[in-house]
Chain A
Amino acid sequence: MGKWTVSEPDRITLDEPVGTLHVRVVAGAVNVVAGEGPARLEVTELEGEPLQVTLENGVLTVTYQDLAWSELAESVKSLETVKSFFGGLRRKRRAVVSLSVPAGSDVKVGSVSAATTVSGIAGPVAVHGASGETTLVGLIGRTDVNTVTGDVNAQSVAGELRVNTVSGHVTVVAGTADKLLAKSVSGSVTLDLDTTTPTDLHVTTVSGAVAVRLPSQTDAKVEAGSTGGELSSTFEELKVGGSWGTKKLSGQLGSGTGRLQVTTVSGAVTVLRRPEAESDRIDLVKELPAAPTDPTTQES
């Protein structure tokens, strides 16, 4: 059990084990990376209110005092406290918070406009934000992201990924997730899949364009419908049909064990074939079997 108040850039090494991480900030940046050894906290930039850091029963919480729900109840007790609460919110608050926690941790990050980066975590990850950019790298558990205008970039993400956004662009680079759900209103969704194992992909947008790139030996049933958008594909197996204004791009790739479902009102939809791996890489994989973590080895 520990409690710290951070009012200037600082570094804290936490000796107690950390299993869950909760971060709630306003602006700035939140970085969470997986690291061996004790958990570390770095606050490299701080403007405005001090941050409260608590570690209790393996739950590490980094937040402002009045952003904790229990404190919120305190602040509505009298007019003065309410005033000071909103006054506090009006003041500029900016913090760059970086944490290194064990890979298996459960991570929750909430912010208004902070850029959030989460890397190498195997436990469940949830990121909620309004306008901050979200970067996810090498996650293998369940990941939930909700943003309003912030872009979401995910690279080499496995497991289950769910993204909800209003106008942020969603981009998945070399994704190996078995389940991927992306919902967007006007943000585009670009998915690049680097796995031939059956994947369940589900994309819904209103006006956001959707592009999905799949390896050529994918096994999936494809169903992509758009009312107003153009449909295109480099897979010959996919055909366009439908009447009454709604067009549907559908067909089966390989044995059709996975699923790709795209629903959009006016967004364009394109399903592309991933270019074959460069020839020299395939040679190298044979020579260098000592790098099984690299996603490219799955292509051989």
Chain B
Amino acid sequence: MTPVFGHGRLRLYLLKLLDESPRHGYEVIRLLEERFQGLYAPSAGTVYPRLAKLEQEGLVAHSTEGGRKVYRLTEAGRTELSTRQSELAELEVEIRDSVAQLAGAIREDVRDSAQDLRAEIWGAAKEAPRPRSEDGSDPWAGPWGDKESWQRAKDEFTQFKLQAKEQAKRAKEQERAAKQKAKAAEDEARRLRAEAKASRTAAQQEALRIKRRIEQQVKEAAAGGDWTAGLAEGLSELTRSLSGLADAKWGRPADAPADGGAEEVRLDRIDLDKPPADLPEWATTDPAADPARELERLLDRFRDQVRDAARDGGVTPARLGSAQAVLAAAAEQLHRTLGR
């Protein structure tokens, strides 16, 4: 297809518009749009450069009126226009009558605009700064030739390795600690069970022994005839022994008989205030230690427990609310308990 509205022809048309009257750029665009029956408006970004080009060629001059440029035809421009007048007239008729000519004109103009734009943009691209590419690194050198990026990658990898190791170590430690805790809890439970059993058997044996001794004393006294003295002595002995038994701190009775001498039972004090057995393990305290410190530890363990539970179960606003209520109530009660 023959070019209908190439560079030369749009140029011609621009000259014609400026010949009619001096115009500013926007008016030129509007008139061109009219010419294309409203179907097409050359982009402002292409009309201004073309006007500037015409000016360079000396066909057009501009003056500034009220802050904007007004373009007018020069003598050279008028000469150029008159030599190609017939060409222009022919073109105008064609474009008005034929969709093909109109579309052809649009195509030529868009092609020119695109060409101009490519030239402009790629020209500007050459000037555009290349951030951080001045270090002269060859992009194809990649990780092998470019020492800096290789070093960077290596550093990243080393750091990553360290982090992974650290994490593994931490995980192992946590596992070990958890195992130890479980074992300690088990030992504690076993110890408590053994303690309870030992105290039970010790108490039974002691009671049995006291019974036997008093029986014997009473029998001896009765055999001696003095059964009232024997009874009184036996009763007082029974009272003494039983009171010794009741005393939780009793160890070996002072007057242990020869047959029971080898038996030695030691029992820690069993505090009646000791929390019931159904309390969780973490809540057990060492009664022998300093109570204030034990309270501190208890609080620490309590915090750990709550934090673990929150981490495992997740915290929702609703759960937070109820936890808040529980904590507030507990704090109030503790305040009352400890405050007095």
Residues of A within 8 A of B (CB): 28-29, 31-35, 40, 42, 44-45, 96, 98-100, 115, 117, 119-120, 133, 135, 137-138, 151, 153-156, 169, 171, 173-174, 188, 190, 192, 194, 209, 211, 213, 226-234, 238-241, 243-245, 247, 249, 268, 270, 272, 277-281, 283-285, 288, 291, 293-296
Contact = CB atoms under 8 A, between A and B. Distances in A.
A51 B130 CA distance: 54
B153 A278 contact: no
A100 B99 contact: yes
A272 to B, nearest CB: 5
Interface in B269-326: none
A99 B48 CA distance: 31
A153 B152 CA distance: 43
Interface in B227-283: none
B45 interface: yes
Interface in B6-65: 24-26, 29-30, 33, 39-41, 43-46, 48
Contacts, number: 200
A41 B44 CA distance: 31
Contacts of A194: 43, 45
A23 to B, nearest CB: 13
Contacts of B107: 31, 115, 117, 133, 135
Interface stretch (B112-120, B202-210, B216-224): B112-120
A272 B125 contact: yes
Contacts of B66: 283
A257 B139 CA distance: 31
A43 to B, nearest CB: 9
Nearest to B48: A278
Given A169-B118, A243-B143, 5 more contacts: A96-B1, A190-B122, A241-B132, A244-B153, A293-B41
A33 B48 CA distance: 26
A247 B45 CA distance: 32
7 contacts: A33-B39, A98-B99, A119-B39, A135-B110, A230-B130, A245-B143, A270-B125
A57 to B, nearest CB: 24
Contacts of A228: 139-140
A171 B114 CA distance: 6
Interface in B101-116: 102-104, 106-107, 110-111, 113-114
A243 B118 contact: no
B122 A135 contact: no
A190 B128 contact: no
A151 B117 CA distance: 14
B271 to A, nearest CB: 67
B128 A33 contact: no
Given A155-B110, A244-B143, A234 B129 contact: yes
Nearest to B27: A284
Given A135-B106, A173-B114, A231 B100 contact: no
A245 B113 contact: no
Interface residues of B, number: 51
Contacts of B67: 279-280, 283
A288 to B, nearest CB: 7
A53 to B, nearest CB: 15
B40 A119 contact: yes
B158 interface: no
Contacts of A155: 43, 110, 113-114
Given A153-B110, A156-B43, A173-B113, A234 B128 contact: yes
A33 B102 contact: yes
A283 B67 CA distance: 8
Given A249-B131, A279-B67, A98 B103 contact: yes
B98 interface: yes
**Which 3 residue pairs spanning A and B have beta carbons closest together?**
A280-B68, A31-B103, A245-B142
Given A33-B39, A137-B110, A171-B117, A44 B129 contact: no
Nearest to A174: B43
B167 interface: no
